[in-house]
C-alpha cells in the first residue's frame, strides 16, 4: 500500500508542476527552480520508498529466522 501512496504523490507533483510551466518558460531561473523542486520531491519519495522496502526485507528476514529456530526447537510442534 505504501508503494501506491508514493506513486500517487509522484503523480501529484507532476500534475502540480504543469500549470506554472507556461509562465516559468519565460524566466530560466524560475523554470530551473520548478524542475529542480519537482525532481527533488520525486527523488525524496523514491528514497523513502526504497528505505521502506529495505526495512521490510529486514523484518521479513528476522521473522523467517525466528520461525526457523522455532521449528528446530525440541518439543515444538510445527504450526502450533
pLDDT at position 43: 94
> Per the domain annotation, does 52 fall within a domain?
yes
* Full domain range(s) for residue 50: 2-71
Is 78 inside any structural domain? no
**Does residue 80 form part of some domain?**
no
Structural domain includes residue 79: no
Q: Alpha carbon of 2 to those of 38, 46, 49, 51: distances in Å?
A: 20, 11, 8, 11
Please check whether residue 50 lies inside any domain of the structure.
Answer: yes
Q: Count of CB atoms within 10 A of residue 42's CB?
A: 17
The per-residue pLDDT for range 22-64, each reduced to its tens digit, is: 888 899 999 999 999 999 999 999 999 999 999 999 999 999 8
32 located within any domain: yes
Residue 79 pLDDT level (bands cut at 50, 70, 90): low
- Residue 13 in domain: yes
What are the tens digits of pLDDT across the range 36-47? 999 999 999 999
pTM of the entire predicted model: 0.69
Count of structural domains within the chain: 1
76 within some domain: no
Amino acid at each position: 500500500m505504501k508503494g501506491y501512496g508514493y506513486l500517487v504523490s509522484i503523480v501529484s507533483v507532476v500534475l502540480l508542476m504543469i500549470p506554472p510551466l507556461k509562465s516559468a518558460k519565460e524566466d530560466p531561473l524560475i523554470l530551473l527552480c520548478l524542475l529542480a523542486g519537482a525532481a527533488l520531491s520525486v527523488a525524496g519519495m523514491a528514497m523513502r520508498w526504497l528505505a521502506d522496502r529495505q526495512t521490510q526485507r529486514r523484518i521479513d528476514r528476522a521473522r523467517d529466522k525466528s520461525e526457523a529456530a522455532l521449528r528446530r526447537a525440541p518439543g515444538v510442534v510445527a504450526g502450533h
